[in-house]
Structures are given as C-alpha cells and as structure tokens.
Structure 1
Amino acid sequence: MSRSLSEEPKWRARLAGAGALAALAAVVTAPPASATPDYSLAAANYAGAQIALHEGVQGTPRLDDAGQTLGHDVSGHQGPVDWAAAAGAGAQFTYVKATEGTGFVNPQYGQQYDGAHAAGIIRGAYHFARPDVSGGAAQAEYFIAHGGGWRADGTTLPGALDIEYNPYGDVCYGKNAADLTAWIADFTRTYLAKVKRSALIYTSTAWWKRCTGNAAGFGNTNPLWLARYGPEVGELPAGWDKQSIWQFAKGGGLPGDQNYYNGPFGRVQALAKGATAGGA
C-alpha cells in the first residue's frame, strides 16, 4: 500500500528512531575493550609475597628437621644469586620464579635457574598466577615457553603454580570459588598435557579455603607446596594428606625463602626423576 506524502516523514522518523535504539543497545551490550594488564608489581612479586602480609608470621620451625631436606626459592628481585654460597649453606633444591601472567618473564631467570644447576642444586621453575589477566591454559603455555618445562635429567623438578593473594586488588582475583577452581584445573591440566608431569601447587591453606571453597580435587594429582610461617605445618588444604614442600620462613640463612622438602634428599631426586604426587 502506498503512503501519502504527509505520512512519509512520520515513517522515516520511526525508522530513524528504531535505528538509534538499535545502535544504543549495541553499545550497552558490547563487551568493554580489555584494559592493558597491570604488571607494575611483577618484578617484586614472589612466592609468598602476600601471604605474610595477610596471614602474619607465627614463629619458626623447631630445630628438629630430621628426615627433611633444606631448600629455598628465589625470584628476580633478589638479583644474581651466589649459588656456591647457597650450596655451602645447605641448599639442596630450589625453585626459581620464571613468569607471571602472560606478560612478564623474570630477567634474572637464566642466572638463577642455570646457576643453581651448575652448583649441583636440583632446581625447578614456578609461575606466579594471574587469573585476572588471562586463562589458565594460556598461562601454562606461556610458562612452559619461558622456562617452566621439565626434562628427564634427574636434576629438574616439575613446574609449580604459585596461586595466592592477588597483589593487584581483590584477593581472589575477582572470581568466585567455582571459577577460580576451574582456572587452576585449566592450568594444571594443560601443563600435564604439554609436559607429561603434574605441576606442584603452591598456596596457603587460608587462601585456598577462602578463594576456592577448599576445593579437594587436586590432592591425588598435584604435589602440595604449602606456605605457612609458623613452628608447624598446621592444617592442610582439602584433598591433600601431606605436603611435599613446606615454605616455613621468609629470608634466613639462604637467599630467598626457606623450605623443607618432606623427606630425605632421595625423595627430592625421585620427584625430579618422575615420581607422582602419591610418591612425592
């Protein structure tokens, strides 16, 4: 049916109005452009960087360390490490920060990781998790591509995922327990598929309970590296019946932070050679 000349302006106005509403709806529903991830603290972040701040220090372990193996962990903010001195002070294993998120590589990584190996110290690499900037699989792949892999040489520990309080904002990275647990599973599943070894999980019991709802699904697959600065290990996160490594102090006689492996040196060697979580 043809429209009269008097009706045509009204018809065109209605179309124009509909187009404006559609354009407005597109603007409202379109996802916001992603901001550039913040890595301003990356050079200073390390395993446990936020744990003492949030949980405090309740003391140091008793001197009875029978059956445990002394080690430590380091990151870029320590600068070059005197590995001969570290070995002389009793360090038998170490973990070195390799990466953070998908945008930061430790500039000291080569000296620290390769230097430990040259000094006869069993070493591994760890990744500082940033669930707020990208997915777990993407970060596992970034970690592997920048030093976080594993080799069957008997002196390389499997990689570790450092998942702890967010230094950039909300302590749980703005995620609910289910989503954060899924993120961790995405990282560990990808690492296992690519490297054929299960990654260790570094965390504290308090953070794990608060941010994952005390998820119990990792204890049979991923060795636990527990952070607690007190005289005893204390409560473990759900799903684990033991810790493989206990980070018990910040600083001390070795560079970085102090750790005990839960067993004699032969157990550290076994993990480097391919022992599973149950044997770690």
Structure 2
Amino acid sequence: MRDDPAPGRMGCVRSLMAFFRGRSRLCLTGALTGLLMFLSSPPAASEPSGGAPERGSAYMGIGVLAHDGESGSPPPAARASQTEGVDVSSHQGDVDWQTLWDSGTRWAYTKATEGTSYTNPYFTQQYDGSFDLGMVRGAYHFATPDTAGGAAQADWFVQHGGGWSNDAKTLPGALDIEWNPYGDACYGKSQSGMVSWIRDFLNRYKSRTGRDAVIYTATSWWTECTGGYDGFGATNPLWIARYASTVGPLPAGWTSYTMWQYTSSGATVGDHDIFNGSQDRLREFATG
C-alpha cells in the first residue's frame, strides 16, 4: 500500500483541479500570485566568468600587460652595448636554459616570492639552472602592499631566495611593484602610503643584504600610485616595463634605466629584457 504523497505541489494541483469543479478558489489564487511574483522578479545573479587570479600566481608584467598592453611595435634593435635577458616565474615551469643560452640570453631573474606566504615551486630549477649555464641570475619579489608591510615582505623575500652574494654572478634582488592583479590598482594605498611602503621594503632589503634593490615598475603606474615620487632614483636601479620599440618616458627620479622589459612573450620562454650595458658591465653590476 502506497502512502499518499505529502501535501505540496501535488496537493496544490489537486486543489486547482477541484477549483474547476467549483470546490476551491483559495489554492488557485495563491498559485497565480506566486506565478506573477516569479515572473516579475529578476533572475538570480550568475557567478562571474573569470575574475581575479589566484593569489601567488602573479608574475612580472601581469599588470603592465593588462593596463598598457602590447604596442604592436617591433622589438628594439639589438645593440652590442646591451645584453639580452629573461624573467621567469612558475608559469614557465622547468625552463630550457640551454635553448635560451644558445639564443643569446645572458642573464635571468626568477620570481622567488609574493607577499609573505608564497614561494615559487620552480624556483630551484629556474634560479640554479640559469646559474649553472653561466648566466648572471637574480631573484624578484612580487609586491602586494595590501597584505603585509614592506619590511615584512622584504624579510620573506630574503629568507626564500632573494638574498645576494658577491660572486659576480648574482644580481641584487628586484622589487616588482605594478598594478594589482587582484583588486585596486594601487592596493588601496594613498600615494604617500605607497611611497612609505616601498621605502620600508627597500630599507629592510638594504639592511639585510648590503645592496640596493632594483625597482621594476611602469611609468604610468608610478605616476598614478606614488604621485610621481622622485626620491629613489639616486639609489635604486630602475627596471622599466614598456612593451614597445622605445623605452619612452621614465618614472620621476630616474634619468636612465638599468634594465628594460620590452615584451611579454607568454608561457614558455619568459619575458624578454635588455640590460643597458655590455656583458662585462653586467658582471660589474652584479658585483656591486
């Protein structure tokens, strides 16, 4: 013997049928009211497609590419007085350093850290692999000023691969400070607050390693988020990001660049860069 179905939609259907037989008006009235409410209400919001990337997944140039994009201009003409380099992160996985060496790449920067919790799982293969082939190598930190202070992030960086040694093959650590891929472009900081954060990072890095960190940035971000602050140019080498055939105007405080990221090439070989000097000068820069 089957139990009668629980009252609900079936019961309402039966009541509607009963109405047409003249025995109930109440359920039909409720059903029509509910139907009208359903038709007049807005559809439920759907989940956004895309959104911010996962924390830790940022890489050098992620904000530059999103805001400035590729210019479509040809790469700068090769000059004997400049030295080709590359920057890599976990997006490249295990890097084929021999191929890069054979193509003329002589220096490399590897992402070591981000914030105060992320470390690059491919760091050892990338950092040591370039060194073993004879490249001059360095490490960079992707700054997230909205998650922790500058000094704390400098400590995390030094403790996880961002140190420096005077061996003529290790470049000073680089601070990657650019558009926030996870939210507000300036990480929710005022221009003066951003300058203070950067200063805290640079001061702590210098005290821990004895070297002034390189600053990687884009001119338009620097203008927007620091107000065109010009106080770091005398001490900290500039790594300028601009995807074009010319480097364009530099951020306030610098009259020349040390390195230039001139294109973002994607997942396999890393982004291409130029050191503004010969290979001998590159080793001198590494030595400090």
For residues 175 and 142 of structure 1, the distance between their equivalents in structure 2, rounded to whole angstroms, comes to: 21
Change (3 A) 1:94 1:131: same
Could you tell me whether the CA contact under 8 Å between 2:137 and 2:169 is conserved in 1?
Answer: yes
Consecutive unaligned residues in structure 1, runs of 5 or more: 1-38, 275-280
Could you tell me whether the CA contact under 8 Å between 2:179 and 2:185 is conserved in 1?
Answer: yes
> Is 1:173 paired with 2:187?
yes
RMSD, aligned α-carbons: 1.6
For residues 55 and 107 of structure 2, the distance between their equivalents in structure 1, rounded to whole angstroms, comes to: 24
- Map 1:1-280 onto structure 2 (within 5 A): 41-58=54-71, 59-251=73-265, 255-274=269-288
Consecutive unaligned residues in structure 2, runs of 5 or more: 1-51
**Cα displacement (A) at 1:100:** 0.1
Partner SS state of residue 148, structure 1: coil
1:225-267 Cα shifts (integer Å, max 9, x gaps): 0000011000000110100000001118981000000111111
Q: Structure 1: which amino acid aligns with 2:239?
A: W
Normalized against structure 2, the TM-score is what?
A: 0.79
For residues 262 and 164 of structure 1, the distance between their equivalents in structure 2, rounded to whole angstroms, comes to: 21
1:45-68 Cα shifts (integer Å, max 9, x gaps): 110011011012212333243311
Could you tell me whether the CA contact under 8 Å between 1:89 and 1:253 is conserved in 2?
Answer: no
1:112-132 Cα shifts (integer Å, max 9, x gaps): 001111111110000000000
Partner SS state of residue 90, structure 1: coil
For residues 234 and 248 of structure 1, the distance between their equivalents in structure 2, rounded to whole angstroms, comes to: 11
Could you tell me whether the CA contact under 8 Å between 2:88 and 2:111 is conserved in 1?
Answer: yes
1:182-207 Cα shifts (integer Å, max 9, x gaps): 00000000000110000000000000
Normalized against structure 1, the TM-score is what?
A: 0.82
Could you tell me whether the CA contact under 8 Å between 1:101 and 1:139 is conserved in 2?
Answer: yes
For residues 77 and 268 of structure 2, the distance between their equivalents in structure 1, rounded to whole angstroms, comes to: 16
| Alignment correspondent of 1:6 | none
Could you tell me whether the CA contact under 8 Å between 2:92 and 2:268 is conserved in 1?
Answer: no
For residues 121 and 107 of structure 2, the distance between their equivalents in structure 1, rounded to whole angstroms, comes to: 21
Partner SS state of residue 52, structure 1: helix
For residues 159 and 226 of structure 2, the distance between their equivalents in structure 1, rounded to whole angstroms, comes to: 27
**Cα displacement (A) at 1:44:** 2.9
Q: How many residues align?
A: 236
For residues 252 and 109 of structure 1, the distance between their equivalents in structure 2, rounded to whole angstroms, comes to: 18
Q: Aligned residues: percent identity?
A: 50
- Rg comparison, structure with higher value: 2
